[in-house]
Amino acid sequence: MTNKKKVGVIFGGRSGEHEVSLQSARSVLANLDPEKYEVTQIGITHDGRWFSGEYVLEAFEKGTVKNLIPVILPAEPGHNGIYSTANGQFSRYADLDVVFPVLHGTFGEDGTMQGLLELSGLAYVGAGVLGSSLGMDKGLFKQVMRANDIPVLESIIFQRADLSADMDEVIAAVERVSAYPLFTKPANLGSSVGITKCRSRSDLYEGLLDAARYDRRVLVERGLESPREIEVSVLGNEKPVAAVPGEIVPGEDFYSYSAKYQSERSHPVIPADLPAETLEKIQAMAVKIYQAIDCAGMARVDFLIDRNSDAIFVSEVNTIPGFTQISMYAKMWTAAGLPYPQLVDRLIELAFERKAQRDQTEYTYKRGA
């Protein structure tokens, strides 16, 4: 009989960050101690099909699911596992105690996967539905930050339909908010996918169209000239703690997708070269932001510092931050004395702690009780 925890690691997904998820999953899988965990790999294709079996990650990296087993996770409590649907038959495939979603972007980090996991009754790593959705939607996130007196850069949100209806009015509205440079961003995506730095009206036009390819909501935000990019890893549930902040020195004009994952010139500095009081202020802000959106488990909070004024602005929260070999989340905890394998252990512990809290909630109302 084994006392190993049965962990389902989910990766891939219907997202522009599918390939980044595969990189993150490789690192997470490498740091799950086989003496402690019995791991089931679960891959989700670009079109949303779920597969398990042997060497799922390797198959996804090669772009084939030929020898894998189609599976589903039932959206009702009590099953505690996944089921095979091979050959039109429905049969139990693997037991699960906890799920570790290593999914970035849409249908994974935005509350949709978390909703499924809530319905299933399983413990899972990371934020719940609310924290995930607020962390993902850049427009709503900024509204919550303003309500909590946390500084953010000026911005405006448009629907994709607004662009189709009257692009000239959209551009005029943007130019009333801020001078150039500006950044156009899909409201619900990460890894800098679909982000454009706009220095002119023609750049803005192209940037809006590009961002709208990836989401029906588009954010336009005032840009800073060569800001310092500071990141903070946060860990915990009700009483989160922040690691020492780090700084990203991008190898390009800004920390774009290529600068993050393809450029050899981008590099981290941990801890960030900032005065001690500034580091402490940013850590405190990161914890406040984490709690403001009801985050849990983990998140990476990103800041921008204006080089001219030293003003600090929160940029965004990543509720399932990158876990690749070059990603900052684990690196900052390693610098704080929590190595990657122990970090993974702690995230799984936090998942069980949050489930225990959730299980105390009553879902049946008894009048007069």
**Identity (one letter) of the amino acid at 265?**
R
pLDDT at 327: 86
pLDDT at 253: 60
Architecture of domain 5-124: 3-Layer(aba) Sandwich (3.40)
pLDDT at 337: 95
Give which of 332, 333, 212, 234 is closest to 284, Cα–Cα.
234
Give which of 160, 165, 263, 141 is closest to 217, Cα–Cα.
160
Query: Tokens representing 161?
Result: 């339909």
Q: How confident is the prediction along the chain (369 residues), in pLDDT tens digits per residue? A: 468 999 999 999 999 889 999 999 999 999 999 999 999 999 999 999 999 999 999 999 999 999 999 999 999 999 999 999 999 999 999 999 999 999 998 899 999 999 999 999 999 999 999 999 999 999 999 999 999 999 999 999 999 999 999 999 999 999 999 999 999 999 887 657 789 999 999 999 999 999 999 889 999 999 998 899 999 999 999 999 999 999 998 765 654 444 444 446 778 999 999 999 999 999 999 999 999 999 999 999 999 999 999 999 999 999 999 998 778 999 999 999 999 999 999 999 999 999 999 999 998 888 775
Q: Is the fold of 5-124 the same as that of 154-222?
A: no
Give which of 174, 241, 240, 244 is closest to 207, Cα–Cα.
174
CB–CB of 234/293 below 8 Å? no
Architecture of domain 228-357: 2-Layer Sandwich (3.30)
pLDDT at 261: 46
Q: What is the pTM of this model?
A: 0.91
Q: Give phi and psi for 123, each to the nearest 5.
A: -70, 145
Exposed / middle / buried, residue 305 (Cβ in 10 Å: 0-12, 13-18, 19+): buried
CB–CB of 342/334 below 8 Å? no
Q: How many CB atoms lie within 10 A of CB 69?
A: 17
Protein fold of 154-222: Dna Ligase; domain 1 (3.30.1490)
C-alpha 114/C-alpha 136 separation (Å) is: 13
- In 3-state terms, what secondary structure has residue 299? strand
Q: Give phi and psi for 350, each to the nearest 5.
A: -65, -35
Question: What does the DSSP assignment read for 225-263?
Answer: SS-EEEEEEEEESSS-EE---EEEE-SSSS--HHHHHT-
CB–CB of 296/350 below 8 Å? yes
What is the residue extent of each domain of the chain?
Answer: 5-124, 154-222, 228-357
Give which of 40, 11, 13 is closest to 26, Cα–Cα.
11
